[in-house]
A and B are shown apart, each in its own frame.
Chain A
Amino acid sequence: DTAVSQTPKYLVTQMGNDKSIKCEQNLGHDTMYWYKQDSKKFLKIMFSYNNKELIINETVPNRFSPKSPDKAHLNLHINSLELGDSAVYFCASSRAEAMNTEAFFGQGTRLTVV
């Protein structure tokens, strides 16, 4: 059983398109995250949701909109894709109150905008 699964694994799309990346966790965690890893491998937090409530919204363009229909899912929708959006996007989950415990990551989605 995959703990945190995100789909698709690879996504190639043209500039200007709208796309979504889905994420699901079966660990019973109450907090989910989206991270962006750029071409230099730098991992940066984009959003954090705790019990479906947004608690972190870093400086991310409005074209990025997370949606959490329930505690087990956090999807990422991106409008009007730009070349600079090309990156690997990671979903993760954890238990907020148990901060010493592991955050589990999905396998990443490599987004390529052409």
Chain B
Amino acid sequence: AQTVTQSQPEMSVQEAETVTLSCTYDTSESDYYLFWYKQPPSRQMILVIRQEAYKQQNATENRFSVNFQKAAKSFSLKISDSQLGDAAMYFCAYRSVDSGYALNFGKGTSLLVTP
């Protein structure tokens, strides 16, 4: 079974600064997909960014980028120029055929953004 570990239960960043959320995973598969989802207080799950394991290039979406280290099984999320609206729970997730197409989530990191 695949496991996803987020070792930071809480993180804090000042507005306009950069923060990195860590995620590691354990798998024996070679083909899989990784995601970061954001859950603000509204409870809605929002996709932030995705990465295919076969792609070496790190994914980027505006202020959000990942550092994907396949050999180390690491998938960290970097948020640049942090904004108050970035405050939320962030979940790292793994998906593959063996996971039955379902997302396996880490326990989440609560991000606080201070003015």
Contacts and interface: CB of A to CB of B under 8 A. Distances in A.
A11 interface: no
Interface string B63-80: 000000000000000000
Interface string B24-40: 00000000010000010
Contact of B103 (A42, A103, A108): A103
B102 interface: yes
Interface stretch (A16-24, A43-51, A65-73, A77-85): A43-51
B107 A41 contact: yes
Interface string B8-51: 00000000000000000000000001000001001111010010
B43 A108 contact: yes
Interface string A83-114: 00000101010101001101101011000000
Contacts of B107: 40-42
B43 A41 contact: no
Interface of A: 31, 33, 40-45, 48, 50, 55-56, 88, 90, 92, 94, 96, 99-100, 102-103, 105, 107-108
A42 B4 CA distance: 12
Contacts of B96: 99
Contact of B100 (A55, A92, A102): A55
Interface of B: 33, 39, 42-45, 47, 50, 52, 89, 91, 95-97, 100-105, 107-108, 110
5 contacts: A43-B103, A48-B101, A50-B101, A56-B100, A92-B103
Nearest to A41: B108
A48 B95 contact: no
A102 B50 contact: yes
Nearest to B54: A100
Contacts of B44: 105, 107-108
A36 B89 CA distance: 16
B47 A102 contact: yes
Nearest to B42: A107
